[in-house]
Amino acid sequence: MTSPKLNIVSKFSSFTKGAAYVVGVTTKGDKPVLADSPIELSGIAQLDLASLGVKSAAEFTARVSAPNGAIYLLVGLGNKPLSAVTLRALGGVAARSLADVKEIVFGLPTEDKTQTEALLEGALLGRYQFGAYRGLNKLSVNQNAKLTVVSAFKPTTAALARIEIIAASVFATQDLVNTPANDIYPQSLASAIQKAAKGAGVTVEIWDEKRLAADGFGGILGVGQGSSRPPRLVRVEYKPKNSKAHIALVGKGITFDTGGLSIKPAASMVGMKYDMTGAATVGQAVIAIAKLQLPVRVTAWMCIAENMVSGTSTRPTDVIKIRNGKTVEVVNTDAEGRLVLADGLSIASESKPDLIVDVATLTGAASIALGNRYTGLMGHGTGVEKLQAAAESAGELVWHMPLPSDLRVSLNSDIADIANAKFGANGGMLLGGLFLQEFIGKKAKGDELIDWAHLDIAPSANNDLAPWGYTGKGATGVMLRTLVALAESYS
Ligand code: BES
Ligand code: ZN
Ligand code: ZN
């Protein structure tokens, strides 16, 4: 998609035909009233908003005619104090409801630069639509637009460029994830990232199935062996000269998850094209971090395979060997994400980074526990607190979950070092985390494990409920902005 153009002006001048002017609705007593705005409101100041059904609730929008063939969009400011988080959401709500409008001018109350930036970021993110497969009405999803914020708090040119770089990577992630699995398979996902990385100042290295075998990646190979489209491991690395720390990112890249021979029921298979979200997110995060030239070395490992059913698929109870030498009994071939990630976490540990973060649509249990918006966060060392702080600054929702060691017995295998699942076990999200923890290597000195955070994005990667804030339906691009904020926290 072509990205909209961002502008900031300090004063409103005049109404342009066809443009939309966004104005807030708040309450006075218990009545809805227009919020203060830098935009000329005299034409609508007399309206009895209550009788028109206008509300101050968050997510409320209504269109009203404005002078000169323009329109106003009235948006409910909600009942929370204005902040970067609420303004990002308001920008998104307005942008989504004005998807057919090519010029949007925001006259919402902002108190500082951070809020103006958040408003623009939300508006930009809210413009996203995926039109690649709409043969007849592609034009209706042309997202070219001019987005202007009227505010005395003017972000720097660098701040605007930062928003555009980050949004471009969020959109690229959403495009990859929304693309159906007949077009996104291990090889094509690897090539797509290679292409996206051109000119960003990163190196991309791809392991094909022969090299995966030679280098001992039994997890990725075991999951991918049932597919006619062989697996891949992709390393995307940004290594600036002035690097202050080294972050390794590991992403689950199952381009389609049928469950394998432990096959999923038909209804559960819908949505499994989203199972490569973690890989797309970590790959695109490195590209964004490189374009922002942050002084941090970041290495992403995209662990990519298609989990299919065939005569060559891994059988339940087969034993495979992971890159770090540990053996795994594959009790359930549908718990495949942890197998490809085990290889990824092992190789990521070999270079002894300061922090490892994995991103994965790992468990249905995470959605049962957390719903549709929160990402499950687990980890050890400084991992959890680092990711909590980064998510907070990006305005994304994470929830810290425990890794109770008493549950580890559920993964005992009679013949291998560990089993990948246990039928009937409770705490599926936590068991997923406990399994992954076994593949985190030790720090360069001593016996301590490398700091680690695990993000289970099964709840949050795909929005199949109502749109909210800047999040539309389908791929959300969640956690990309958090990973960028994490890298920024080392700068
Ligand atoms: N890709 C799924 C997890 C998932 C489910 C993501 C729903 C998004 C929405 C994963 O590979 C899986 O099937 N996990 C199993 C694990 C179990 C077999 C231990 C699950 O959650 O049921
Ligand atoms: Zn699965
Ligand atoms: Zn999966």
Probe ligand 1: pick from 303, 308, 334, max atoms within 8 Å of CB?
A: 334
- Residue range 426-464, pLDDT digits in tens: 999 999 999 999 999 999 999 999 999 999 999 999 999
Span from the CA of 350 to the centroid of ligand 3 (angstroms): 25
User: Measured from the CA of 422, which atom of ligand 1 is nearest?
Assistant: 19
Q: For residue 137, is pLDDT > 90?
A: no
Indicate the residue type of 220. I
Span from the CA of 428 to the centroid of ligand 3 (angstroms): 13
What residue ranges define each of the domains in the chain, with the CATH number in brackets? 5-154 (3.40.220.10), 163-489 (3.40.630.10)
Report the alpha-carbon distance of residue 347 to residue 440 in Å, rounded. 9
- Residue range 79-99, pLDDT digits in tens: 999 999 999 999 999 999 999
Confidence of residue 5 (pLDDT cuts 50, 70, 90): confident
Q: Are 197 and 291 in contact (CB under 8 A)?
A: no
Q: Where are the beta strands (DSSP E) in 232-374?
A: 232-238, 246-257, 297-307, 318-321, 327-330, 355-360
- Residue range 224-266, pLDDT digits in tens: 999 999 999 999 999 999 999 999 999 999 999 999 999 999 9
Give the neighbor-by-neighbor strand order of the sheet with 418-419: 318-321, 327-330, 418-419
Q: Are 260 and 267 in contact (CB under 8 A)?
A: no
244 counts as catalytic = no
User: Measured from the CA of 363, which atom of ligand 1 is nearest?
Assistant: 21
List 22's β-bridge partners, or say none: 73, 106
Probe ligand 1: pick from 270, 339, 363, max atoms within 8 Å of CB?
A: 363
User: Measured from the CA of 307, which atom of ligand 1 is nearest?
Assistant: 11
Confidence of residue 129 (pLDDT cuts 50, 70, 90): very high
338 counts as catalytic = yes
Block residue for tokens 């660098």: 158
Confidence of residue 134 (pLDDT cuts 50, 70, 90): confident
479 lines ligand 1 (CB under 6 A): no
Burial (CB < 10 A; 0-12, 13-18, 19+), residue 245, is: middle
271 lines ligand 1 (CB under 6 A): yes
Look at strands 246-257 and 327-330 and give their pairing.
Answer: unpaired
335 lines ligand 1 (CB under 6 A): yes
Span from the CA of 362 to the centroid of ligand 3 (angstroms): 6
459 sits in which H/E element = none
337 lines ligand 1 (CB under 6 A): yes
pTM of this structure: 0.97
Nearest ligand, CA 458: 1
Nearest ligand, CA 361: 1
Span from the CA of 412 to the centroid of ligand 2 (angstroms): 20
- Marked catalytic residue, from 55, 96, 264, 481: 264
Residue closest via CA to ligand 1's atom 16 equals 335
